[in-house]
Amino acid sequence: MKLTNGNYVRPPARYSWWLRQGRYFRYMMRELSSLFVGIFSIIMICGLYQLSQGEAQFTAFTSSLWNNFWWLSVITFLFVTYHSYSWFIVTPKAMPLRFSGKKVAPWIIIGAHMILWLICSIFIWFIFTNGGAQ
Amino acid sequence: MSDVKTSQKSVRQVEIEILRYNPDTDEKPYFQTYQVPCQEEWVILDAVNYIKDNLDRSLSYRWSCHMAVCGSCGMMVNGEPTLSCHAFVRDMPDKITIEPLENFPIARDLIVDMDGFVEKLSSVKPYINAAEEKTVEQGTYQQLPEQLQLYKQYTQCINCMLCYSACPQMALNDGFVGPAALALAHRYNLDSRDKGREVREDVVASNAGIWECSFVGACSEVCPKHVDPAAAIQQTKIAATGDYFKKFLMPWKNAQKGQAPEGGDQ
Amino acid sequence: MNVKLPLKASNKPIIWSLFAAGGTVTALLFPALILLFALAVPFGLLPAELFSYDRIQGMLDNTFIKLIVFALLFLSIWHAAHRMRITAHDFGIRADGFIAFLFYSIALLATILLVIALF
């Protein structure tokens, strides 16, 4: 579009810009992970609601989740894992830690988050499979 | 004699396609192709200079230092915002496309209109906003090396505008204050001599500031000086969120802070 | 390319702090939770008896666990709502007012359902 002062403005690719470069595509996949975070949150909330409605409803919910929607869970797992990875990989930018006046190396901050992620995951798994025994 | 031979051998014929636009004669930009015999050690800017000197004197573009300091030779090289003095031709394919920086109006050929960029830079009040003016007798504002280290990275910006070209949010909303200006604001916010964060937040934390950023991170990837504007913006978001809730929870503090900038502006 | 005046102070910190907190807790916990509740049984990693009505109900009788579950799902749902609003904009959908209303309404309804289900 030519402006009155002679300058020319190139119209941006409003719908397809994110297909032009790998970094934009990865960004959009990262953002799209929120759809799957939302889907799993709603599945969990529905499960809790069915739980409050009684045993029959809850069993129907779990069998439907496991038998009919396992494929959705696989996609959700992949996207949400990418969310975790992409979230932790940028932590040094949001959190520039300093230790005795020196900048902490980014890989240490990222590594600490990845280890925390692993510990949380194992902890949740362990608590759930072993808890409730008492 | 053998020297001449080696230099002859390292010449590579490269097809360079450049987006041309003359506001006086053209309704819209068009591509023009040049065959350039590129030397092994050439950067993109050398190839463009070759075109200007030998093939087409009408080609317009900005450059000055040829050493990644002045920040004036930014162009889109094969779709990537690049300092043309900072990218070797030998790392490129045999066909190179050069366009003016994206997300800016084209003034002529590879020259973009940077008025909006300069306006955005100055909108964040990029200067020391001290709590109180010191007289000459009172001496200078002192700073420890550790305090300098906190923000030094953000002083390295050369205003090359590559980050504005890389930023998709800039493309989707051209009113966005943008990476370089927000990183510059962060540079002053982190400066121990400065007390102007709340004043800058009028722009920085506004509807055109940090909240338009969705942390794509492309700005930091293309920055030739490793300023990392994406990091500056995320840190500013966290600080601004803290300030927002502080204002919300302690409204009696607002009155005092609101008066300080007016006095300081005189 | 110019700054569009007047600039308005933004209330984004409210939703952004939920987004940031939600992003962090989902990043830490959601992959494990999906593996546990949605994939472990169909892929034969754990027996279905672990997920019996009585066992889950028994766990949620604990008020502390209930509060943790509430906090986690409350944050994750608002994280998702806000990020999807931004994503819609990135995909070129310009009706931001409507999109925000739509996604935040869904998040609000989900929050209400969560409270009803838990308490």
**Residue C25, pLDDT score:** 97
B8, pLDDT greater than 60: no
Contact B202 C7 (CB under 8 A): yes
Please indicate whether, in this complex, the C-beta atoms of C80 and A34 are within 8 angstroms of each other.
yes
Does residue A68 share a domain with residue A22? yes
Residue B203 to residue C17, Cβ atoms within 8 A: no
Q: From the CB of residue B34, how many other CB atoms can be counted at a distance below 10 Å?
A: 19
- Among B125, B103, B130, CA closest to B204: B125
**Which CATH code of 1.10.1060.10, 1.25.40.320, 3.20.20.70, 1.10.1740.10 fits the domain covering B115-265?**
1.10.1060.10
Rounded to an integer, what distance in angstroms lies between the CA atom of residue B187 and that of residue B200?
Answer: 12
CB of A91 closer than 8 Å to CB of A113? yes
Given the DSSP bridges, would you call strands B95-99 and B12-20 parallel, antiparallel or unpaired?
parallel
DSSP lists the bridge partners of residue A112 as none
With beta carbons less than 8 A apart as the criterion, state whether B221 and B166 touch.
yes
CATH topology of domain C16-118: 3 helical TM bundles of succinate and fumarate reductases (1.20.1300)
* pLDDT at res. C10: 86
Q: Confidence class of residue B256 from pLDDT cuts 50, 70 and 90?
A: low
* A-proximal residues of C, 29-88, CB under 8 Å: 29-39, 41-43, 46, 48, 50-51, 53-60, 69, 73, 76-77, 79-84, 86-87
Q: What per-residue confidence (pLDDT) applies to B249?
A: 86
Q: Which tens digit of pLDDT belongs to each residue from B40-96?
A: 999 999 999 999 999 999 999 999 999 999 999 999 999 999 999 999 999 999 999
For chain B, where do the domains classified as CATH 1.10.1060.10 start and end? Answer: 115-265
Q: What is the pLDDT of residue B254?
A: 65
Question: pLDDT band at B204, cuts 50/70/90?
Answer: very high
By CB atoms closer than 10 A (0-12, 13-18, 19+), residue B156 is: middle
| Region of poorest pLDDT, from A1-5, A23-27, B66-70, B214-218 | A1-5
Of residues A17, A101, A103, nearest to B171 (C-beta):
A17
Give me the pLDDT at residue B197, please: 92
C-beta of residue B128 within 8 angstroms of C-beta of residue B191: yes
pLDDT at residue B260 in the model: 42
- pLDDT (0 to 100) of residue B238: 95
Domain residue limits at A102 = 96-134
User: Which residues of chain B form CATH 3.10.20.30?
Assistant: 2-112
Q: B32 in helix, strand or coil?
A: strand
How far does chain A reach from its first CA to its final CA, in angstroms? 72
Q: Does A129 touch chain C (CB under 8 A)?
A: yes
* Stretches in chain C below the pLDDT threshold 70: 1, 4-5
**Shortest Cα–Cα distance, C18 to chain B (Å):** 11
Residues pairing with C44 in the sheet: none
The answer on pLDDT for A115 being more than 90 is: yes
Percentage of residues of chain B with pLDDT beyond 70: 91
Mutate to test the interface with A, among C25, C53, C112 (most CBs of A within 10 A): C53
One-letter amino acid for residue A10 of the chain: R
**Phi and psi (nearest 5°) for B227?**
-70, -30
Select the more confidently predicted residue: B257 or C30.
C30
Q: What is the mean pLDDT of residues A102-123?
A: 96
Provide the number of structural domains found in chain A.
2
Q: SS3 sequence, A91-109?
A: HHHHCCCEECCEECCHHHH
Buried b or exposed e, range B110-147, using 16+ CB within 10 angstroms: bbbbbebbeebbebbbbeebeeeeeeeeeeeeeeeeee
Q: What is the pLDDT of residue B77?
A: 97
Interfacial A residues in 11-30 facing C (CB < 8 Å): 14-15, 18, 28
Identify the H or E element spanning B230: helix B229-249
DSSP state of C35: I
Q: What pLDDT shows up at residue C1?
A: 67
pLDDT reported for residue B265: 37
* Gap from A56 CA to chain C (nearest CA, Å): 9
Burial of residue B66 (CB within 10 Å: 0-12, 13-18, 19+) is: middle
Rounded to an integer, what distance in angstroms lies between the CA atom of residue C29 and that of residue C101?
A: 28
Confidence bin at A3 (pLDDT 50/70/90) = very high
pLDDT surpassing 80 at residue A82 = yes
- Asked if C90 lies within 8 A of B203 by C-beta distance, the reply is no
Query: Which residue ranges make up each domain of chain C?
Result: 16-118
Phi-psi region of B97 (alpha: psi -120 to 50; beta: other; left: phi over 0): beta
* 8-state DSSP, B107: E
Closest to C9 measured CA to CA, from B181, B231, B248: B248
**Distance (Å, rounded) from C-alpha A18 to C-alpha A53?**
44
- Which pLDDT score, from 0 to 100, does residue B259 have? 43
Q: Buried (b) or exposed (e) across A30-48, using 16+ Cβ within 10 A?
A: bbbbbebbbbbbbbbbbbb
User: In the beta sheet, which residues pair with residue B59?
Assistant: none
DSSP state of B135: P
pLDDT at position B11 is 92
Asked if residue B131 has pLDDT above 90, the reply is: no
Q: Long-range pairs for A51-60 at CB < 8 Å and ≥24 separation?
A: A51/C53, A51/C56, A51/C57, A51/C60, A51/C117, A52/C116, A52/C117, A52/C118, A54/C53, A55/C53, A55/C54, A58/C53, A58/C56, A59/C53
Closest CA to C46 of A64, A125, A65, A72: A125
pLDDT digits (tens, 9 = 90+) for B141-186: 899 999 999 999 999 999 999 999 999 999 999 899 999 999 999 9
Q: What is the mean pLDDT of residues B242-252?
A: 86
Residues 117-176 of B with CB under 8 A from C: 117, 119-120, 123, 168, 172, 174-175
Residues of C in contact with B174 (CB under 8 A): 1-2
In the predicted structure, residue A51 carries a pLDDT above the cut 60 = yes
| Whether B201 contacts chain A with CB within 8 A | no
CB neighbours of residue B265 within 10 Å? 9
Domain B2-112 -> CATH class? alpha beta
Nearest-CB residue to A45 (from C23, C56, C113): C113
Coil, helix or strand at residue C9: strand
Task: Report whether pLDDT(B255) > 80.
Answer: no
Q: Check pLDDT > 70 for residue B226.
A: yes
pLDDT of B261 higher than 70: no
Band of the pLDDT at B7, cuts 50, 70, 90?
Answer: low
